[in-house]
Structure 1
Amino acid sequence: MRHTLVPFALLDGGTLEVVWANDAFARMTGYDASGARAHQHDLVPAGVRRHDELTAAREAIRAGRATSATLTLRRADGTLFPCQVHVSPIAGGPAREDAPVATWVAAFHDLTEQTSHDAEQAALMESERRERRCLGIIAQVSDLLMDVTDMATPLHEVATLLRRSVVGGAAFYVNDGGLRTPDELDGRRPPSGRGSRHGESRRPDGGDEAAVERDAVQALLDGDRDRPVEVDVRGDYPRGSASYWLAAQAGVDDLGDLTDGRVVVYPVPGRRRVIGVLVVVGRYGGGLTGLETSTRTVVELTARRVGLTLDNARLYDREHRLAETLQRAMLPQQAEVDGLDVWTYYAPNSENAQVGGDWYDVLQIDPDVVGIVIGDVVGHDVEAAAAMGQLRSVVRSYAFDVTTPGPVLERVDQLVAGMRIPRSAGLVLSTLRRDGGGWSLEYSRAGHLPALHARGGHVDQLSGAGGPLIGFGSGARATETVRLEPGDVLVYYTDGLIERRDRDLREGLQALCGIVGAVTARDSAGIGEELLSRLADHPEDDVAVVVVRVPDPRDAAERGRSPRRRRWSLPSEAASVGRARHAVVRTCHAWDMPDASNAELVVSELVANAVLHGYGHVSLQLYDTGDGLRIEVEDGNSAPPVTTDGHPGRVGGFGMQIVERLADWGWRQSSRGKVVWAKVRPGALPSSAR
């Protein structure tokens, strides 16, 4: 830093004059002593004067005190520069009548470089603040798009977020059979992105079609342009074109009233096609000039994030529907078996595409012969499902022809070896034959876990008649026979029921045997549901279960003496809602209770509320009260349930209103939190039917 020493008279109102200046002062200001003296009374522009500092310095000089001030001075070339001035009196100088000090020395420090550095740092801090704000907005957009239960709600919420943070107005429009507002979409399905063109007809005045300008919005939808375009919503566009529709809709949404009529249209791109557009209006004017650079970045990233989310939703919807179609085609409907109580269950691993290689089959071969198959093909993909479908058809065909399990599997081995099915598979095939007043069981295993036979609390593993996986058998397959008595239970299952990362299959099989032996339910559905509640809360693989019970004449008398009751412990996750619905429907059928659909709606809402607003595991209990079904759902939140007017587009907003229409309900405190109960009213109409 350089300092300049001069006698200083600029601060005393003009009574002192510059008498000397060094070379550094001349280099900094362009003035020598005479030049400084000639121009020392020149004024700087009013906009840069520092009146407070100037006044304080003058008062200090009049009092004879040293002082400092930051001022703006003028160089000889007319430029202005900030300067720190330090003024000190020289003791012993000649006295003056009007001032205690006659001579002063001033040191000047040019602040130009420091001021530029401070301005640069301030600009960097502002840039960093804008970047943090942009990242925060994009993070909020990502949060809003995490739960896309319908298309309209997240698009409206993202547009609202943009309006509150960076733009004056914003709206999404999706391309699904032409441009549409989000509210016009099918809430159950995402937009396809390939909707028909709006068309290129004549102008409203009937002008020649060849004279019509290219439709800029349609160019975005067609992918011919990938940068945002300006659209004047008050302009003249071909009737029926995308720009014509957008201009009209912008008027409905009040976007055109925010500016001079110009809006900015951003494409919302998917992977292969543009799914829609995002229309924004700047806060300080229409068109691109009304949007700051950081705002453009936020809007463009938001459009891309929304497009990717909608495209993922579309792809998932397509795969999910394909998987559901395959699953419905490959799994049989529950067979009604005369003389046996049969319950079946299948659930794919939630991490997969809702399709896998586990399967079961219940075959009414003839009035006195029932075939039961459970199997598992290696893998969790469409190829595994296709292999499962082939095996199911082969086993079903041979079982109707031969019926004895061992010879059936021998034929299956021969055919599968020739078919070259790419996936290995294991299965258990059994037939139950009516023998007088009872039943006998024949079974054969091909590389699959043994079925269980329970009688009077004792459980046997049917581990006989074992053999290699299907397709690897080269010789005869054995068949074992077991005589069944009234009250006997057979449990068929796949490894997903018992296999866990923290234990091996042997430990899981022992746990299953212990649970089956302790079950007190006297119907196959009750037994199956208790197995699921104890073992299938967090399955790590597909689960298939078949429970067969030989009816006991004492069952009816036992049901008359004690009320029926079932209990499930469910994890606090969305999948538990579906589990609860299926459990209630199966229980109503097992107990011959009407109004299963109403009970399904009620339990769906109660469990959904417990998952959304409760803590910890959710306990579901069902009671046969003799005059209806009582449902109790317990969670860890002690706050009472609240009936609201609902939240359009959100899950659960109308929940307790639905419950009120179908059931009498209430709640009570519990040791864990609260219990919400509902007793389904017989004959109540579902809310959808009113």
Structure 2
Amino acid sequence: MTTRVHIEQERERHLAAERAARTEAERAQRRLALLAEATSVLAATLDVDESLDRLTSLVVPLMADWCTVHLLGSDGRVQRVASRHRDHERVPLLRRLEELQPEGLSTDSYTAKVLAGDPAVMVDIDEDVLLSGIDDEELREVYRRIGLRSALVVPLRARRQVLGVLSLFTDGSGRTFDEEDLATAADLARRAALTVDNARLYSREHEVAEQLQRSLLPQLPDIAGLDRAARYLPGSTSAQVGGDWYDVFALPDGTVGLAVGDVMGHDMTAAAAMGQLRSVLQSYAWQGSSPAVVLDRLDQLVQGLDMAQLATCVYGRLQLPTHGAGRLRVANAGHLPPALRSPDGTVRLLATEASLLVGAALGTARDEVEEVVEPGSALVLYTDGLVEHRGRPIDEGLQALAEALASAPDSDAEAICDHLLTELAYGALDDDVALLVVRVLA
């Protein structure tokens, strides 16, 4: 009998050990799956708020009943950027808590201490102790109704700097945190911190690149009889300087030079090539050459200097009307055609014969088109980022441009610019956009 009992006890111990091992393995698998999903979610976008909101939606309810993320701003202020609770009916209560604590944190809170450099905190919350430091009766009541039971507060740390905190809480679910939860939260915080740090680095690089790009573009001159406006928008997917440019300049014979170009690439080499081409084109145009001759000479320069950057360009020479209509002559080097809106609202694309890129047509005379430009007409020159979008054929983009120009207000060039960008340059831009609009005044 004793032997049978002993055997049965051993069997129960083995079964219990197997169950414990299975439970531990399943928990480890869930933890790894959570971390893998978090990595995927955080890498999906450079929008910090969206990334962290998605992270809290993973953590709740798998790990916690409530999850928040606070970040330190460049001014040292703390801002809550994400919050999620398992019970949607409690969301108004949590919002009221944020209203009652507009700064988000008290100086003696665990969150504030972790932000100041203290290590991660895992603590069971004693309601009496929590409420003892709160004087505001409504705030005390909100905390009572939330019913916090335990908390995990871990720093978001990157490059030895604390960027924020990830906070996990339990309330009425009855769950508690353990050391494995703390390790998981710390792993999540490291991934979130890397996302925040990368996004901020990208934002700074993107801002510097945009400022440099704008510094390379000209200030548009005031020219009697001409209303002009221009815009430059950097592509959303690049943090580097690009090669898109525009230019307007008065010429000695009273005509006006108009140019838009695009040097392929997003780096300092493309920006340097853009600066060279813009300056040289203006120099050749100043000598009184026709648009086709200007581009022919630009071809010779690019070939002679063995410039490796591919580029497109459209250049027009506008004779403003004095008595009656003006005239426009345009030559094209592999660029998209300008669009001309007549005073009656009709829109035409000024397409020349198929043309090669700048530097590729050496020895081949480029074609020109000549158009009558009546007072009240609007001319639009642009780079491909305005009409080319992922998944949309270029022909559809050009048709969309013609429709947008036809429906644009006739008030001034600035309004036309704004209308075209609203209609065409929406969402995340695949490429940079340079846009030049000129209106011939009556």
TM-score, normalised via structure 2 length: 0.64
3-state DSSP class of the match of 2:320?
Answer: strand
Per the TM alignment, residue 132 of structure 1 is displaced from its structure 2 partner at its CA by 6.5
Q: Quick one: structure 1 residues 334 and 124, their matched pair in 2 at CA, closer, same or farther if it must change by over 3 Å?
A: farther
Is 1:487 the counterpart of 2:376 in the alignment?
yes
Per the TM alignment, residue 449 of structure 1 is displaced from its structure 2 partner at its CA by 2.2
Structure 1 residue aligned with 2:361: 473
Is 1:545 the counterpart of 2:435 in the alignment?
yes
| CA distance in structure 1 between the partners assigned to 2:69 and 2:212 by the alignment | 38
Aligned length in residues: 367
Is 1:454 the counterpart of 2:354 in the alignment?
no
Structure 1 residue aligned with 2:48: 148
Per the TM alignment, residue 115 of structure 1 is displaced from its structure 2 partner at its CA by 0.9
Structure 2 residue aligned with 1:111: 8
Alignment of 1:183-582 (within 5 A): 185=75, 270=158, 273-276=159-162, 293-295=179-181, 297-353=183-239, 355-365=241-251, 368-402=254-288, 404-437=290-323, 439-455=326-342, 456-464=344-352, 467-475=355-363, 476-500=365-389, 502=391, 504-517=393-406, 519=408, 521-537=410-426, 540-552=430-442
Seq. identity, %:
38
Q: Quick one: structure 1 residues 319 and 515, their matched pair in 2 at CA, closer, same or farther if it must change by over 3 Å?
A: closer
3-state DSSP class of the match of 1:549?
Answer: strand
- 1:512 corresponds to which letter in structure 2? L
| CA distance in structure 1 between the partners assigned to 2:385 and 2:69 by the alignment | 47
- 2:334 corresponds to which letter in structure 1? G
Q: Quick one: structure 1 residues 549 and 278, their matched pair in 2 at CA, closer, same or farther if it must change by over 3 Å?
A: closer
3-state DSSP class of the match of 1:360?
Answer: strand
Per the TM alignment, residue 428 of structure 1 is displaced from its structure 2 partner at its CA by 0.8
Q: Quick one: structure 1 residues 526 and 268, their matched pair in 2 at CA, closer, same or farther if it must change by over 3 Å?
A: closer
Q: Cα deviations across residues 430-487 of structure 1 (Å, max 9, x unaligned)?
A: 1223353453322221122222233223333323476432112323445444332212
Which has the bigger relative contact order, CA under 8 A and spacing at least 6? 2
Unaligned runs of at least 5 residues, structure 1: 1-24, 30-72, 74-80, 82-109, 173-180, 189-245, 259-264, 284-290, 553-690
Q: Quick one: structure 1 residues 277 and 117, their matched pair in 2 at CA, closer, same or farther if it must change by over 3 Å?
A: farther
- 1:488 corresponds to which letter in structure 2? S
Q: Quick one: structure 1 residues 464 and 310, their matched pair in 2 at CA, closer, same or farther if it must change by over 3 Å?
A: closer
| CA distance in structure 1 between the partners assigned to 2:355 and 2:114 by the alignment | 72
| CA distance in structure 1 between the partners assigned to 2:389 and 2:165 by the alignment | 51
| CA distance in structure 1 between the partners assigned to 2:418 and 2:154 by the alignment | 53
- 1:483 corresponds to which letter in structure 2? V
3-state DSSP class of the match of 2:194?
Answer: helix
Structure 2 residue aligned with 1:642: none
Q: Cα deviations across residues 574-621 of structure 1 (Å, max 9, x unaligned)?
A: xxxxxxxxxxxxxxxxxxxxxxxxxxxxxxxxxxxxxxxxxxxxxxxx
| CA distance in structure 1 between the partners assigned to 2:299 and 2:38 by the alignment | 57
8 Å CA contact 2:42, 2:191 repeated in 1? no
| CA distance in structure 2 between the partners assigned to 1:279 and 1:549 by the alignment | 54
| CA distance in structure 2 between the partners assigned to 1:278 and 1:435 by the alignment | 62
Per the TM alignment, residue 249 of structure 1 is displaced from its structure 2 partner at its CA by 5.7
In terms of Rg, which structure is larger? 1
3-state DSSP class of the match of 1:351?
Answer: coil
- 1:545 corresponds to which letter in structure 2? L
Per the TM alignment, residue 392 of structure 1 is displaced from its structure 2 partner at its CA by 1.9
Q: Quick one: structure 1 residues 128 and 359, their matched pair in 2 at CA, closer, same or farther if it must change by over 3 Å?
A: same
Per the TM alignment, residue 364 of structure 1 is displaced from its structure 2 partner at its CA by 3.2
Q: Quick one: structure 1 residues 306 and 536, their matched pair in 2 at CA, closer, same or farther if it must change by over 3 Å?
A: closer
3-state DSSP class of the match of 1:448?
Answer: coil
Q: Quick one: structure 1 residues 149 and 121, their matched pair in 2 at CA, closer, same or farther if it must change by over 3 Å?
A: same
Structure 1 residue aligned with 2:106: none
Structure 2 residue aligned with 1:614: none
Per the TM alignment, residue 427 of structure 1 is displaced from its structure 2 partner at its CA by 0.9
- 1:148 corresponds to which letter in structure 2? V
3-state DSSP class of the match of 2:183?
Answer: helix
TM-score, normalised via structure 1 length: 0.44
Q: Quick one: structure 1 residues 324 and 339, their matched pair in 2 at CA, closer, same or farther if it must change by over 3 Å?
A: same
8 Å CA contact 1:142, 1:305 repeated in 2? no
Structure 1 residue aligned with 2:94: none
Please identify which structure carries the higher helix content.
2
Q: Quick one: structure 1 residues 144 and 365, their matched pair in 2 at CA, closer, same or farther if it must change by over 3 Å?
A: same
